[in-house]
Chain A
Amino acid sequence: MVNKNIIYIATVIIIVIIVSSVFLYMNYKTSNQSTAKGITITDDEGYNTTLPAVPQRIVSLAPSCTQILFAIGDGNRVVGVTDYDDYPYNFTAWAAAGNMTIDGGYGTPNMEAIAGLSPDLIVTDNINDGTNLATMRNHGWDVLVLNPLTIQGIYNDIKMIGKATGATTQANQVVQNITDTINTITSKISNAHVAPPTVFYEVWTPPLMTAGEPTWINDVISKAGGINIFANASDTTQYPTISSEAVVALNPDTIFLPTEMGQTPFYGSVADVKATAAWNTISAVENNRIYVINADLFAEASPRVADCVYAVAADLYPQLFNSTS
């Protein structure tokens, strides 16, 4: 009986040791792959990634990243996009035709789809949580995370991706074009010498949320010649929750409501905003200066940021930009 037990225990231990060493070996094999020399990129989260070669199979996990990649001429190397991507092309139709792979939802990447794409670079914004990022990096994939807090941050990200994909010249050109467009808008506004209107940007309700100082949306508003009334609401929270009373007290000249095209707006409707208790005394409501803007533009820190600035400027200064709105 005792002998039987010893044999039994010995067998179990031997099996465990053998299987464990096989796992160790496999792990050693995979972890050994990422020691090659190449260019090192530091992303917006401070993570250093060394790319052994110019990436040829790029997976995008955010619409803004897809737009940057296509803007700097890397579109033909993009092998996967999320099911939220709809710009600059109708990727859903591409996928149905078998010319593009949908690699998951925005913030819910499908690891299997990504593995099937054998990516040599993955680009995402900060929607993906630590677990997703750790999983992808544990699989041995190179991941760059974008998290721009200003328009300058968007420029830096475009240049960062350009550096990673070997498209530095194109990236600099794209940044130059955006800068030029925005400069034209700002100089037009500053030449007009008009008192800048104040802006309330309603991100969400309920609870009532706005964009604070550490967001590139705040930067867009100031570039478009507006003053974000909640710029100083919080130094650290990007989208602080605020009280309805504070909006009344700060009495904004204009209210901006982001809405996704063709979808139910976050805030209800313009009529709902006007009907909000005690808001009828707000200058923006009294003068009917409530503007609905395309949230796709404002939710994505993409090369379209100049369009963003233009859209806001056109609403703030209709006398200067009377072509639209």
Chain B
Amino acid sequence: MSEDEVKGNFSKRSSRWKIILAALVVALIITIIASLDIGFASQTPANMKLAIPQISFIQILYILGKQIPFVGNKINVSAVFTKPGDLASAQNIIMLIRLPRILAAALVGAGLAAAGVIYQGVFRNPMADSYLLGVSAGASLGYAVAILYISSALTIAGLGISQAFAFIFALLTVFLALLIARSGTRIPVVNLLLTGLVLNIFFLALFSLLEIRAGKALGEIVAFTLGSFSSIVWTHVWVVFPFVIVGIALTFFFTRDLNMFSMGDETAQHLGVNTERVRIFLLVIASLMTAAAVAISGVIGFVGLIIPHMTRLAIGPDHRILLPTSAVVGAMFMVICDAVVRVATGASELPVGVITALVGTPVFFYLLKRRKTSYSL
């Protein structure tokens, strides 16, 4: 193959990637808008009728349009409502509950999936997920400590005290893992894997200890370990947004390095990657994204493990396309799962972590079975 042919192939592939990514982004936006019409108030069980009429899709579009700066003032949203009371209700439901919730789900899904790609790439391990270095156990412990021993009325930077503790404990756990795994000036991958595993077990043991002493707060603590978007308010969206977007954007510069990691440390080094520094940098980014996601929504399993695999099965192992597509697919997947949660069981909701596993497993097995050749990272 001549150099021109290689370049030609690459640009062909690159334009194919752009099409795939653009299509997925469009699909994500459609999913988000469509899921705005899904919720308890729209699909109320017959015996629990809500005293307002169901919100129609047109009404949702008007309410959304009203929020756009400058243009919004020209939209007469009350024209599509028969009673002013219904408008207030619908506006409350869409703008106060559903929109922040759906955006949070999208950001958390994107963050967890992107972090999963990073962890799997850095560790060259299909078992790696976004919670590998103990973020989940650390966050759960921090959350339980705050719930049980600290008054919960405080807020720090838009987060409740328990969420702030979850975030800080999650980062401390990762820091501890990096510190313990260090050997001289290097952090060997095997050391880090084992340290993360052991810290996870250790912090979960401490967490269980608190669980036993929790009493009335037990339900609240257990709910955190399964994840939910039912308590999302706008400030949470604002907190998680910069972490996820900046995190994914920065990682994008290192997707070539991630590709080289998959050939092994030595090869990567020969190809000019400063493996040690890049690895730590990427792990810190992934951990920040995961910690912010966990702080606002609890520990939602499965997404950070399976979404990268599902995307890799469908699209190939090149991180330049794997990272952005995984993030978009993760966002879409989480938005769908949360929509299911909102209507599956009537007035009281299931934890979203249960649904991610129930919905994701069959999809993953289907993709795995469909593949003819054996699958590796």
Contacts and interface: CB of A to CB of B under 8 A. Distances in A.
Interface stretch (B87-95, B112-120, B130-138, B299-307): B87-95
Nearest to A80: B51
Interface in A69-123: 79, 83, 92, 95-105, 107-108, 110-113, 115-118
B184 interface: no
Nearest to A26: B234
B235 A110 contact: no
27 contacts: A13-B246, A16-B241, A20-B238, A23-B235, A30-B96, A47-B153, A79-B51, A95-B47, A96-B46, A101-B50, A101-B51, A102-B48, A104-B347, A104-B348, A111-B97, A115-B96, A116-B41, A116-B52, A116-B90, A117-B52, A118-B85, A129-B217, A130-B152, A130-B220, A131-B160, A131-B220, A139-B233
B40 A15 contact: no
A116 B48 contact: no
Contacts, number: 129
A115 B88 CA distance: 9
B220 A110 contact: no
Interface of B: 39-41, 44, 46-52, 85, 88-90, 92-93, 96-98, 147, 152-153, 158, 160, 162, 216-217, 219-220, 223, 230-231, 233-235, 237-238, 241-242, 245-246, 249, 253, 342, 347-349
Nearest to B243: A16
A83 B39 CA distance: 18
Nearest to A45: B153
Given A27-B235, A104-B348, A117 B89 contact: yes
A27 B242 CA distance: 16
Contacts of A26: 234
Contact of A135 (B158, B216, B231): B231
Contacts of B39: 112
B360 to A, nearest CB: 24
A113 B41 contact: yes
Contacts of B220: 129-131
B253 A138 contact: no
A19 B47 contact: no
B347 A108 contact: yes
A277 interface: no
A232 interface: no
Contact of B96 (A110, A134, A139): A139
A112 B342 contact: yes
A15 B234 CA distance: 18
B347 A118 contact: no
Given A95-B48, A112-B97, A117-B89, A12 B246 contact: yes
Nearest to A237: B215
A27 B238 contact: yes
A95 B49 contact: yes
Contact of A118 (B44, B88, B216, B242): B88
Contacts of A15: 245
Contacts of A97: 49
Given A96-B47, A116-B50, A138-B233, A23 B348 contact: no
B117 to A, nearest CB: 18
A5 interface: yes
B142 to A, nearest CB: 15
Contact of B347 (A5, A79, A113): A113
Interface string A1-18: 000010011001101100
B347 A103 contact: yes
A24 interface: yes
A172 interface: no
A110 B51 contact: no
